């Protein structure tokens, strides 16, 4: 016997999410629109589970899953679609569903030839304009490498002075004091280098963010998929958030109208998202 309720899986196509205190909603509630700056659809509690499918121009396309009473929206309600309704009809003259773009999928295997776990539970970003990305990324990389090289050379010079400190004077107390000062200067220089390295990491993340057109999350096996990707050249990026040696994935792809499965070794982009700085700079 069927339960007197309907499962309402609301896919808000191009709907914005706004937290507002307007009269329709309580303070902090989420307001749904039928499109960016479009008509009001409804409101949700601020803690309601919302999955972000896409984000652009300050708006988010979201998916919400919940239950509604069968009496509140019967079979004749124009906004209710029963799951058993079946797939949408195909356009005349085609053998494919009427949808913009195709699926791009892959698995975040350990980068390069290294061993280790897959990239599970990571935000995976689809980037547009790879050529523009390369120009911006390359310029920022040159600046970061120069700043880190300057900091590293200063540390090396201070360490060379430290090696000579104890033998620099016949007065042991004076030599010991000089030794302590140099150790403090080295510690400060190393801290400055670490801050510069963190700044470079933030700069790389910001460049990737500026070129992002879609986002998804990899599953426990490292698998990911982007739906409705229109033809063109793209780059897929996934970055680990923490650690002194963060792993990163950057894959190139050409979408030509057919579903695409990326190979993380064959399709790996010829650049390092972090310019190889984490492999080159060591404490």
- The SS3 call for residue 47 is coil
Which residues, given as ranges, of the chain have pLDDT below 50?
1-27, 74, 80-81, 83-99, 281-283
Enter the DSSP assignment of 88: P
Is the CB of residue 271 less than 8 Å from the CB of residue 250?
yes
Question: For residue 166, what pLDDT is reported?
Answer: 61
Nearest to 124, CA basis, from 203, 214, 206? 214
For residue range 52-68, what is the model confidence (pLDDT) as tens digits?
877 777 777 887 777 66
Cα dihedral: 123, 124, 128, 132 (round 10): 80
Assess contact for 48 and 65: CB atoms under 8 A. no
pLDDT computed for residue 133 by the predictor: 94
């Amino acid at each position: 016997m069927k339960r007197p309720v309907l499962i309402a899986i609301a896919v808000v196509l191009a709907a914005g999410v706004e937290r507002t205190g307007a009269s329709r909603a309580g303070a902090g509630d989420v307001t749904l629109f039928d499109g960016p700056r479009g008509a009001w659809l409804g409101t949700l509690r601020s803690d309601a589970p919302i999955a972000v499918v896409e984000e652009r121009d300050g708006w988010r396309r979201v998916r919400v899953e919940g239950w509604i009473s069968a009496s509140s929206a019967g079979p004749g309600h124009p906004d209710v679609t029963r799951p058993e309704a079946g797939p949408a009809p195909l356009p005349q003259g085609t053998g494919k569903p009427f949808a913009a773009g195709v699926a791009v999928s892959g698995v975040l295997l350990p980068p390069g030839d290294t061993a280790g776990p897959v990239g599970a539970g990571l935000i995976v970003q689809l980037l547009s304009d790879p050529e523009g990305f390369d120009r911006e990324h390359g310029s920022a990389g040159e600046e970061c490498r120069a700043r880190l090289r300057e900091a590293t050379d200063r540390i090396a010079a201070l360490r060379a002075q430290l090696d000579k400190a104890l033998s620099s004077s016949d007065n042991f107390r004076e030599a010991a004091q000089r030794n302590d000062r140099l150790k403090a200067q080295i510690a400060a220089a190393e801290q400055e280098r670490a801050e510069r390295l963190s700044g470079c990491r933030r700069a790389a993340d910001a460049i990737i963010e500026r070129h992002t057109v879609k986002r998804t999350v990899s599953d426990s096996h490292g698998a990911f998929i982007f739906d409705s990707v229109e033809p063109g050249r793209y780059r897929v990026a996934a970055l680990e958030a923490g650690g002194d040696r963060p792993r990163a994935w950057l894959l190139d792809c050409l979408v030509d109208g057919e579903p695409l499965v990326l190979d993380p070794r064959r399709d790996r982009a010829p650049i390092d998202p972090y310019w190889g700085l984490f492999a080159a700079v060591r404490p």
